[in-house]
Amino acid sequence: MSWVARDIALIAAAFAASVVLGISTNVLRRVPLPMLYKNPEARVLSAVSPAAAITSGEPEVLEYKVAVQTWKASAALFVDARNPPFFEEGHIPRSINLPRDSIVQAGSIAALADKARPLVVYCSGEDCDDSRIVAKGLLAMGYSKVSVYSGGWEEWSASGSPVEK
Provide Rg for the chain, Cα atoms.
21
Q: Which is nearer to other proteins, 24 or 74 (CB)?
A: 24
The binding site for other proteins (CB under 8 A) comprises: 3, 6-11, 14-15, 17-19, 21-23, 25-26, 29, 33-40, 83, 101, 127
Q: Which is nearer to other proteins, 39 or 55 (CB)?
A: 39
What secondary structure letter does DSSP report for 159?
A: T
Distance in Å, CB of 61 to other proteins, minimum: 20
Distance in Å, CB of 33 to other proteins, minimum: 5
Greatest extent of the chain over all pairs of C-alpha atoms, in Å: 77
Distance in Å, CB of 95 to other proteins, minimum: 20
H or E element that contains 14: helix 3-28
Q: Which is nearer to other proteins, 103 or 112 (CB)?
A: 103
State the number of CA atoms in the 13 A half-sphere of 51 facing the CB: 2
Distance in Å, CB of 62 to other proteins, minimum: 24
Distance in Å, CB of 69 to other proteins, minimum: 31
Task: Give the span between the Cα atoms of 102 and 148, in whole angstroms.
Answer: 18
SS3 110: helix
What secondary structure letter does DSSP report for 164?
A: B
**Exposed, middle or buried by CB within 10 Å (0-12, 13-18, 19+), for 44?**
buried
Q: Which is nearer to other proteins, 18 or 105 (CB)?
A: 18
Query: Residue 11, Cα to own-chain centre: how many angstroms?
Result: 37
